[in-house]
């Protein structure tokens, strides 16, 4: 049995029975049976389905957003924006997917040769709770447009979100088995990955989960894409527009209650801008409205679970004990639910937990850099390499700086965000493979060489 909890109150929401082995088998078989039909469906049919799903998401935006808020605690305005983003992503791949999947001429010794992009089959998607709709849709939209089917193993605490997505696909007219949700424990994943009907796996989650899935996929010789943790550097150089950087920094760190893999987490500031940035950052972060995430005025809701709040608090406390300085917050709030104060810790250095680890919650580490080279070294001094931001008025120099940053994305004078038009993914312990854009749609296809000789005379 799975029981979900409202993180704003700590009270139970719903109970869901785990699927029995026969039910999981039925889902697997339905997904496999759908592959021949969907893989042969013309692009126009695939696109029409994605557009219909997008339309239904927009029509049901408010009710879907409320479910996400109740299950994982994000502020309601941000939840609505997430549903809208899902609709945009579906429409984007409906419009551009056919062109991304068109055969590419590849001249060779043949009379004619080209590269074609064929579907793989059933994709197993293992998804997290923090963006319970968008994480799923950004994997599903390109995979389904490419002619694959998908089974979703969602995080337990967002089970209702998973079932709502399945319902919407079904009501949009998806063929039986095209998109299905599994209600199962994590222990079932190895067996699912090993099943011959699963062609490939995509996972967004923790390092630990990624390593386990990669191990299982490797043993089964199956493709996998992993989008894992991040400890993104937000680098503010001395010549930056400090006001703009500090304003964006608050959103970059505290959006989604700070529970985002691409949230800025380490604020690395060159000495010439350190004091001004820190002062502005603290003032703006401290002005955020914390409270019931169902209220539109609220900017920061609770952590999604009590253990997550406790983990953030332990990282903050350990960093302070190592010599850093608390400049804002630093405590769980004494109220119902899993709330934590917006927190900023200054004078953080390598070797402290808030520098070395991913902090998944509303706490920021501010790090002083002596100069640009030191800032670059600090940015790269992490086992993670997902996203990064660089703030400076010298864009040419910033591009040279960006070329040396060890991350899957570098945003210059902007906040890291996923965008269906751009590839998304990381390096180092942030995983491998890409989602979104043409690069993402090509992850789960058979890139097939076709070589044709002239027939004998």
Q: Please identify every residue annotated as catalytic.
A: 227, 261
| Kind and range of the H or E run holding 182 | strand 179-182
Pairing of strands 198-204, 112-119: unpaired
- Measured distance between the N- and C-terminal CA atoms of the chain, rounded to whole angstroms: 69
Query: Which residues in 420-441 are b (16+ Cβ under 10 Å) and which e?
Result: beebbbbebbbbbbbbbbbbbb
Query: Reduced to 3 states, what is the DSSP secondary structure of residue 114?
Result: strand
Query: Pick from 57, 78, 296: which is nearest to 161 by CA?
Result: 57
CA 301-305-310 angle, 5° bins: 95
Q: Residue 368 and residue 355: Cα distance in Å, rounded?
A: 12
For tokens 């490419």, what's the residue? Answer: 146
Give, as one character, the DSSP assignment of residue 257. Answer: G
Token pair recorded at residue 1: 């049995």
Pairing of strands 325-328, 2-6: unpaired
Q: Residue 79 and residue 65: Cα distance in Å, rounded?
A: 5
Beta bridge partners of 114: 105, 450
Cα dihedral 86/87/89/91 (nearest 10): 160
Token pair recorded at residue 72: 């994982």
Query: Pick from 396, 82, 372, 34: which is nearest to 199 by CA?
Result: 34
Q: Residue 50 and residue 87: Cα distance in Å, rounded?
A: 9
Query: Pick from 129, 128, 164: which is nearest to 5 by CA?
Result: 129
Token pair recorded at residue 392: 């400076």
Are the CB atoms for 179 and 169 separated by under 8 Å?
A: yes
Pairing of strands 179-182, 149-153: parallel
Give, as one character, the DSSP assignment of residue 424. Answer: B
Cα dihedral 154/159/163/166 (nearest 10): -10
Are the CB atoms for 210 and 431 separated by under 8 Å?
A: yes
Are the CB atoms for 325 and 361 separated by under 8 Å?
A: no
Q: Residue 307 and residue 156: Cα distance in Å, rounded?
A: 14
């Amino acid at each position: 049995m799975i029981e979900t909890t409202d993180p704003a109150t700590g009270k139970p929401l719903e109970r869901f029975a785990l699927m029995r082995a026969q039910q999981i088998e039925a889902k697997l078989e339905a997904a496999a049976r759908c592959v021949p039909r969907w893989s042969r469906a013309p692009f126009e049919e695939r696109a029409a389905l994605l557009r219909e799903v997008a339309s239904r998401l927009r029509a049901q935006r408010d009710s879907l957003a409320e479910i996400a808020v109740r299950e994982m605690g994000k502020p309601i305005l941000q939840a609505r924006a997430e549903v809208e983003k899902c609709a945009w992503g579906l429409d984007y791949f409906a419009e551009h997917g056919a062109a991304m999947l068109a055969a590419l001429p590849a001249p060779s010794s043949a009379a004619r040769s080209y590269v074609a992009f064929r579907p793989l089959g059933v994709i197993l998607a293992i998804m997290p709770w923090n963006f319970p709709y968008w994480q799923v849709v950004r994997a599903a939209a390109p995979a389904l447009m490419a002619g694959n089917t998908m089974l979703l193993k969602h995080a337990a605490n967002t089970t209702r979100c998973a079932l709502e997505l399945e319902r919407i696909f079904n009501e949009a007219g998806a063929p039986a088995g095209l998109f299905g949700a599994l209600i199962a424990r994590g222990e079932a994943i190895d067996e699912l990955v090993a099943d011959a009907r699963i062609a490939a796996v995509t996972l967004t989650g923790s390092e630990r989960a990624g390593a386990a899935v990669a191990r299982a996929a490797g043993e089964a010789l199956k493709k996998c894409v992993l989008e894992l943790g991040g400890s993104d550097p937000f680098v503010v150089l001395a010549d930056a527009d400090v006001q703009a950087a500090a304003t964006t920094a608050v959103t970059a760190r505290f959006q989604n209650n700070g529970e985002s893999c691409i949230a800025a987490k380490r604020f690395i500031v060159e000495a010439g801008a350190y004091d001004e940035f820190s002062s502005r950052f603290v003032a703006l972060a401290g002005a955020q409205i914390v409270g019931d995430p169902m209220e539109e005025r609220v900017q920061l809701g609770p952590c999604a679970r009590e253990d997550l709040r406790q983990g953030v608090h332990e990282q903050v406390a350990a960093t302070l004990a190592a010599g850093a300085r608390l400049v804002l917050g630093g405590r769980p709030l004494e109220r119902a639910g899993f709330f934590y104060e917006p927190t900023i810790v200054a004078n953080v250095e390598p070797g402290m937990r808030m520098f070395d680890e991913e902090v998944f919650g509303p706490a920021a580490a501010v790090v002083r850099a002596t100069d640009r080279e030191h800032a670059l070294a600090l940015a790269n001094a992490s086992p993670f390499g997902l996203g990064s931001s660089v703030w400076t008025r010298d864009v040419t120099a910033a591009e040279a700086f960006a070329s040396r940053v060890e991350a899957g994305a570098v945003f210059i004078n902007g906040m890291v965000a996923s965008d269906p038009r751009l590839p998304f993914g990381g390096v180092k312990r942030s995983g491998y493979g890409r989602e979104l854009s043409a690069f993402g749609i090509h992850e789960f296809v058979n890139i097939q060489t076709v070589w044709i000789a002239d027939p004998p005379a």
